[in-house]
Amino acid sequence: MTQYLIRRLLIAIPSLLGISVILFTVLALAPGDPFEELATNPAVPPEVRLQLRASLGLDDPIHVRYIAWLTAMLRGEWGFSFVSRVDVDQLILQRLPTTLIVIGSSQIVALAIALPVGILAATRPYSLFDKIANTLAFVGFSLPTFFTGLLFILFFSIYLDWLPFVYRTEINATGFAWFWEHVKQTIMPVMVLGLFQGAAWTRFVRSAVLDVIRLDYVTTARAKGLPERVVITKHVVRNAMIPVVTLVALQMPIVFGGAIVTEQIFRVPGIGSLLISAILANDTPVIMAVTFVFACLVVFFNLVADILYGWLDPRISYR
């Protein structure tokens, strides 16, 4: 097991290096620079802009910049944003709590919907419940989040005037009022993301359970006279969860990465909105850091998923 772990981690290094090279070159080849706004401002002489570019090393060849970035990264220096001149790790840490709360709770909402509904629908296939759940799931994942987001805003904020549609991290209140304000402004983004994700997962859980429920060992379990509850939870769900775990584990980095579109609509200051504004401003160090952390998390959760298989299904062994 330990050997397996070490091997997997060693394999991860070249793939991460490859990812970083690709990211860096693509970013370097993309048009634009962080001082675009200065270019159209006649009050700023072009020399000032050229000098700024030079001072940030933007005029060096790509490979020199990449090596400089890599060595700094290995020393634990993430660099600083060209735009805000703040250290990148500080920027990310500032955004992390909001991201974890909003995206994390939306994933919990999604699981809380998908697991019971999916399992229940699979145990009673083609019943009325299954049909309704199916229809709603289709509606849910065929509506994109930017659309449901706007729909929610129009209905809950503008028509009913119940919920605010601008997310504010700092709220002027204490105690319960503070908590309630936070809940009110978090409901819409969490629901938009949670319902979308939940709908997709419901379909997945249902088909995973359906695959298992027809197998002979389930019939055996029932023939033994086990109560239905035990059959479903112990024998069916546990086996059906293997593909679901892969899916959910691979989804976990997204919790970190945030949801770009939804964050933009509701002005949630999460990592997604940090990434998109960095991309729009050609702020290479921030884009590199966020996407690279993201890549690391994907690799890491892949490993976690593989390890979880072994726990769910003892037939899988690690060599």
Partner 1 sequence: MTEDQLRELIGRVRRGTLSRRGFIRRMAAVGFTAPMCTQLLALYGISPAAAQSVPPYRPTRRGGGQLKILYWQAPTLLNPHFATGTKDQDASRVFYEPLAGWAADGTLHPILAAEIPSIDNKGLAEDGRSVTWKLKRGVKWHDGQEFTADDVVFNWEYARNPAVAAVTSGSYRDINVVKVDDYTVRVEFPRPTPFWADAFVAATGQLIPKHLFKDYAGANSRDAPTNLRPVGTGAYRFVSFAAGDTVRAEANPNYHLPNRPFFDQVEIKGGGDAVSAARAVLQTGDFDFAWNLQVDDETLRRLEAAGRGRVNIVEGGNIEHIQLNATDPNREVDGERSHISTQHPAFRDPAVRQAMALLLDRQSIQEFIYGRTGPATPNFLNAPPRFRSPNMRMEFNVDRANQILDQAGWARGRDGIRQKDGVRLRFVFQTSVNAPRQRTQQIYQQAARRAGIEIEIKSVVASVFFSSDVANPDTYGKFYADMQMYTTTMPQADPGRFMNQFVSWEIAQKANNWSGRNIVRWRNEEYDRIYREAEQELDPVKRAALFIRMNDLVVGSNHIIPVVQRPLVSGSAVNLRPVLSGWDTTLWLLSDWYRET
Query: Residue numbers of the site for partner 1 (CB under 8 A)?
Result: 31-52, 55, 80-81, 83-86, 91, 94, 153, 157-158, 161, 164-166, 168-170, 172, 264-265, 267, 269, 273-274, 277, 280, 282
Q: Which is nearer to partner 1, 37 or 60 (CB)?
A: 37
The least distance separating partner 1 from the CB of residue 141, rounded to whole angstroms, comes to 25
The least distance separating partner 1 from the CB of residue 292, rounded to whole angstroms, comes to 19
Q: Which is nearer to partner 1, 58 or 73 (CB)?
A: 58
Taken as a whole, the chain contains a residue count of 319
Count CB atoms within 10 A of the CB of residue 289.
24
Q: Which is nearer to partner 1, 286 or 298 (CB)?
A: 286
Q: Which is nearer to partner 1, 32 or 144 (CB)?
A: 32
The least distance separating partner 1 from the CB of residue 53, rounded to whole angstroms, comes to 9
* CA distance readout (Å), 243 to 201, 208, 312: 11, 7, 11
* CA distance readout (Å), 102 to 20, 167, 226, 269: 28, 11, 41, 10
The least distance separating partner 1 from the CB of residue 278, rounded to whole angstroms, comes to 9
Question: ∠ at Cα 117 (111, 119), nearest 5°?
Answer: 95
Q: Which is nearer to partner 1, 186 or 273 (CB)?
A: 273
What's the rounded Cα separation, in Å, for the pair 122 and 104? 27
What's the rounded Cα separation, in Å, for the pair 78 and 293? 11
Q: Which is nearer to partner 1, 52 or 245 (CB)?
A: 52
The least distance separating partner 1 from the CB of residue 274, rounded to whole angstroms, comes to 6
The least distance separating partner 1 from the CB of residue 269, rounded to whole angstroms, comes to 4
**What residues contact residue 217 under an 8 Å CB cut-off, 6+ apart?**
235
146-171 burial, b for 16+ CB within 10 Å, e for fewer?
Answer: eebbeebbeebbeeeeebbbebeeee
* CA distance readout (Å), 162 to 243, 263, 265, 267: 39, 20, 17, 17
